[in-house]
Amino acid sequence: MTEPTAELVQDSLNDKVRERSDPNEKPRNLKTLLVPLVVFLSLVGILAIGFQLEDPHKLPSVLIDRPFPQFAMRELYDAQRTVTQNDFKGQVSLVNVWATWCPNCVIEHPQLTAIAASGVPLYGINYNDVDEKAKGWLQRYGNPFTFNIVDDEGKLGIDLGVYGAPETFVLDKDGVIQYKHIGEVTQRDWLLTIKPLIEQLERDS
């Protein structure tokens, strides 16, 4: 009595097993199995390149193509004088944010001095600093700045989106911010980026 039923069950089970191991299905399964792996690996690749592409410390400035923010602040050596954004107008110029507590400012100073000597107007913003220290620093390393704005509370710095020093802005003749350089300006930065930009801005206007 039990034997025929067992055979029948075995048959149908065999059917199922045969369907599962259809020889045509194998290569397709292998391919579909590989798809997630390939997708994952390419994602890893894109992210790996993306993370190395740019220094995460160098944030893009939102101020590019905007006029220099309005301000009215004291000059370092002439307390009677009030400097405003209008003092940048008339010539393509550089505005450098510096401080005595900033080691990279010392490193970039010879380059800034050379740039100023070449005839480009260079203005300083003495950022979060103390007047006496700043004067001592300029006496020691030389003063290439046409004037220095005293930003002892970092307020102008905030309006400029500054988050450290040194930072250098390139302004066109109308006092509109055209470029922001974060960190020290090296000779390479000057020759390859900033100098060509200044020359182009001078031609354009």
Partner 1 sequence: MHKIAILLTAALMLGCLTFGHHTRAAIDAYAFPDETLRDRYNGLIDELRCPQCLNTNLAGSDAMVAKDLRREVHRLVLEGKSDEQVLDFMYERYGDFILYEPRFKPGTWLLWLGPIALLFLAIFFGIRFSRRSSQVSDLTEDEDRKIDQLLKSQESSTDK
Q: Which of 34, 41, 158, 191 binds partner 1 (CB under 8 A)?
A: 158
Report the amino acid identity of residue 107: I
Q: Is the CB of residue 97 less than 8 Å from the CB of residue 166?
A: yes
Q: Which of 30, 49, 52, 57 binds partner 1 (CB under 8 A)?
A: 57
Which of the ranges 52-60, 79-87, 111-119, 194-202 carries the binding residues for partner 1, by CB under 8 A?
52-60
By beta-carbon proximity to partner 1, the closer residue of 29 and 139 is: 29
Residue 114 near partner 1 by CB under 8 A: no
Least distance to partner 1, CB of residue 82, Å: 22
Q: Is the CB of residue 190 less than 8 Å from the CB of residue 111?
A: yes
By beta-carbon proximity to partner 1, the closer residue of 8 and 44 is: 8
Q: Which of 75, 164, 186, 195 binds partner 1 (CB under 8 A)?
A: 164
Residue 62 near partner 1 by CB under 8 A: yes
Q: Is the CB of residue 90 less than 8 Å from the CB of residue 64?
A: no
By beta-carbon proximity to partner 1, the closer residue of 128 and 168 is: 128
Residue 76 near partner 1 by CB under 8 A: no
Q: What are phi and psi of 111, to 5 degrees?
A: -65, -45
Dist. CA 179–CA 60, nearest whole Å: 10
Dist. CA 98–CA 70, nearest whole Å: 19
Q: What is the DSSP letter of 60?
A: P
By beta-carbon proximity to partner 1, the closer residue of 155 and 173 is: 155
Q: Is the CB of residue 159 less than 8 Å from the CB of residue 46?
A: no
Quick one: CA dihedral 162, 163, 165, 167, positive or negative? Answer: negative
What are the residues binding partner 1 (CB under 8 A)?
Answer: 1-2, 5-6, 8-9, 12, 15-16, 19-20, 32, 56-57, 59-63, 128, 153-155, 157-164
